[in-house]
Amino acid sequence: MKLLVTGGAGYVGSVVTRLLLDAGHQVVVLDDLSRNDSAQVPAGADFVQARVHDAGRVLTREAGFDAVFHFAGLIAAGESMAHPEWHWDNNTTGSLALLDAMRAAGVPRIIFSSTAATYGDPSELPLTETAITKPVNTYGATKLAVDMAITSEAHAHELAAISLRYFNVAGALIHPDGTMLGERHDPETHLIPIALEVAAGKREKLQLFGDDYPTPDGTCVRDYIHVADLAQAHLLALGALTKSEHRIYNLGNGTGFSNRQVVDAVREVTGHAIPVEIAPRRPGDPASLYASSEKARRELSWVPARPQLRDIVSDAWEFYRHG
Ligand SMILES: NC(=O)c1ccc[n+]([C@@H]2O[C@H](COP(=O)([O-])OP(=O)(O)OC[C@H]3O[C@@H](n4cnc5c(N)ncnc54)[C@H](O)[C@@H]3O)[C@@H](O)[C@H]2O)c1
């Protein structure tokens, strides 16, 4: 297929692009490089530097795209509270422009990167796709708005659509040919790469926000999913798209890991002491958040190959040192 991957210079988009190329697809990456100084567009993909708002420049009828994978967007929840206008513009206005361009060019399929943040405080655990969606930050709200717009588009204009709601993506693609693709966010807000920065001596210590939550060791429990497993689900989703339907799938491990368990795994993998400082709880942080991915397993036949925390951390460390 001929595919457009927005945000394909970023973490998840680049890994999916690589697997799509491996599967024999033709891929054009569209990314404005706004958030990725260390852009990683896999060799073999064509690259267009543009905002997703201007996707119509690439998505023409003549170009004949079969599907769009839409990763482009801003991802930091804290930033979305300080600068909500950036997130509404990038994530929501940009996505609406993309849908307009797809409609005009007759592109019939989309796979969208949605997020666990659409649910807000969990109304049930593990979280299924029918849980209440009540985002507690602007980031989650901008993504939920796009999910809703995609549902309308599917029903009104026969779009075939799947939203994949990721939980915490981690790890790196260590390709058999030696290529490594991983996580380099700036500023980094994700626990595993921050802990690796401590292991590498780039940070003095790791802050854990709260150790008095009602969890087995008092620290927050989150769901970590290996980026290569997550990427594989996108390829399966491509084969499951159905005209006029918008399906939603949660992608997580199904098991939560506590912040302390993550730190222990980083200590074990890196062999470095990770000094930890307990800081006050952050407002809006739920004690536990983890997914049920039963629907993806059942309907997409998705089976994560590297669900162990140790493997996730070890691949992230490999990328950190040599990627
Ligand atoms: N990383 C996670 O844990 C996680 C969890 C849930 C959902 N997601 C979603 O997955 C997607 C990818 O996340 P990521 O971690 O790879 O982020 P990333 O920041 O590494 O990649 C995003 C890419 O999008 C580009 N971009 C941003 N705004 C753009 C715009 N308006 N036009 C064109 N390009 C633009 C950036 O330059 C960057 O290369 C995001 O939509 C995010 O909301 C990520």
HSE-up of residue 8 (Cα within 13 Å, Cβ side): 26
Q: Is 10 in the pocket of ligand 1 (CB under 6 A)?
A: yes
Confidence of residue 188 (pLDDT cuts 50, 70, 90): confident
The CA-based angle 166-80-226, given to 5 degrees, is 20
Q: Looking at ligand 1, which residue's alpha carbon is closest to its atom 38? A: 10
34-43, 48-57, 227-236, 256-265: which range is least confident on average? 34-43
Q: Look at residue 76 and tell me whether its pLDDT is greater than 80.
A: yes
The model's pLDDT over 283-312, given as tens digits with 9 standing for 90+, comes to 778 899 999 999 999 999 999 999 999 999
d(C-alpha 20, C-alpha 248), whole Å: 21
HSE-up of residue 278 (Cα within 13 Å, Cβ side): 9
Q: Which atom of ligand 1 is nearest to the CA of 117?
A: 6
Say if residues 93 and 84 touch (Cβ distance below 8 Å).
Answer: no
Q: Which atom of ligand 1 is nearest to the CA of 89?
A: 31
Strand, helix or coil for residue 320? helix
Say if residues 7 and 13 touch (Cβ distance below 8 Å).
Answer: yes
Confidence of residue 36 (pLDDT cuts 50, 70, 90): low
Active site residue: 139, 166, 213, 320, which one?
A: 139
31-35, 92-96, 164-168, 301-305: which range is least confident on average? 31-35
**Range 172-176 average pLDDT:** 95
CA of residue 146 to ligand 1 center, whole Å:
14
CA of residue 184 to ligand 1 center, whole Å:
11
Confidence of residue 241 (pLDDT cuts 50, 70, 90): very high
CA of residue 29 to ligand 1 center, whole Å:
13
Q: Look at residue 39 and tell me whether its pLDDT is greater than 70.
A: yes
The residue among 234, 4, 231, 237 whose CA lies nearest residue 99 is 4
Q: Is 7 in the pocket of ligand 1 (CB under 6 A)?
A: yes
Which one of 41, 75, 230, 290 would you pick to mutate in the ligand 1 pocket, going by the greatest count of ligand atoms within 8 A of its CB?
Answer: 75
Considering just the CA atoms, what is the radius of gyration of the chain in Å? 19
**Range 47-56 average pLDDT:** 97
- Computed over every residue of the chain, the mean pLDDT equals 95
Active site residue 139: yes
Strand, helix or coil for residue 165? strand
Residues 6+ apart with CB under 8 A from 281: 209, 210, 212, 213
Q: What Å distances lie between residue 312 and 160, 174, 224, 227, 268, CA to CA?
A: 32, 11, 8, 8, 12
Amino acid at position 45, single letter: A
Which one of 31, 54, 144, 192 would you pick to mutate in the ligand 1 pocket, going by the greatest count of ligand atoms within 8 A of its CB?
Answer: 31
Which one of 35, 53, 183 would you pick to mutate in the ligand 1 pocket, going by the greatest count of ligand atoms within 8 A of its CB?
Answer: 35
Q: What Å distances lie between residue 196 and 5, 182, 252, 275, CA to CA?
A: 29, 13, 22, 12
Tell me the residue ranges of DSSP E strands in the chain. Answer: 2-6, 26-31, 46-49, 67-70, 109-115, 160-166, 168-170, 173-174, 180-181, 206-209, 221-222, 224-226, 246-251, 257-258, 276-279, 288-289
Q: What Å distances lie between residue 145 and 78, 130, 156, 247, CA to CA?
A: 18, 16, 17, 15
The domain ranges of the chain are: 2-170+225-251, 173-223+254-291+305-322
**Which 8-state DSSP code applies to residue 266?**
H
* Most distant pair of Cα atoms in the chain: their distance: 59
**Cα torsion angle, 184, 27, 48, 112, sign:** negative
42-51, 140-149, 280-289: which range is least confident on average? 280-289
Residue count of the chain, please give it. Answer: 323
CA of residue 215 to ligand 1 center, whole Å:
30
Q: Look at residue 117 and tell me whether its pLDDT is greater than 70.
A: yes
**Range 198-210 average pLDDT:** 95
CA of residue 44 to ligand 1 center, whole Å:
21
Q: Which atom of ligand 1 is nearest to the CA of 91?
A: 31
Q: Which atom of ligand 1 is nearest to the CA of 114?
A: 7
Query: Helix, strand, coil shares of the chain as percentages rounded to 5?
Result: 40, 20, 40
The residue among 188, 203, 187, 189 whose CA lies nearest residue 275 is 203
Architecture of domain 2-170+225-251: 3-Layer(aba) Sandwich (3.40)
Domain 173-223+254-291+305-322 top-level CATH class = alpha beta
